[in-house]
Amino acid sequence: MADVITKAQLARELGVSASRVGTMVKAGLPVQPDGRVDADEAIHWVACHVRSWRGGWETDENGRRRRIPID
């Protein structure tokens, strides 16, 4: 069974603020109906979408770059 955690716990795990997690949710981070996240799925999403070497930019489904500001 996967670990289901709160967004605040995810923020602590990633070393970012809770508002950064909120920004990632708006950008497509998968969230369960109760507002919590599957830890493994969330970390995989961050690894696939947040490009620290590109200053936090990612490419959306239309090939446009958009900013996901994370520290």
Q: What is the mean pLDDT of residues 15-40?
A: 91
Q: What is the DSSP string of 36-55?
A: -EEHHHHHHHHHHH-BGGGT
The two structure tokens encoding residue 49: 């979408």
CATH says 4-67 is which class? Answer: mainly alpha
Residue 65: what pLDDT? 63
pTM (predicted TM-score): 0.69
43-69 pLDDT tens trace: 999 888 776 655 555 566 676 666 655
Q: What stretch of H or E contains 5? A: strand 4-5
Question: Would you list the domain boundaries of the chain?
Answer: 4-67
Among the listed residues 40, 8, 35, the one whose alpha carbon sits nearest the alpha carbon of residue 21: 8
Residue 41: what pLDDT? 94
Q: What is the mean pLDDT of residues 19-30?
A: 90
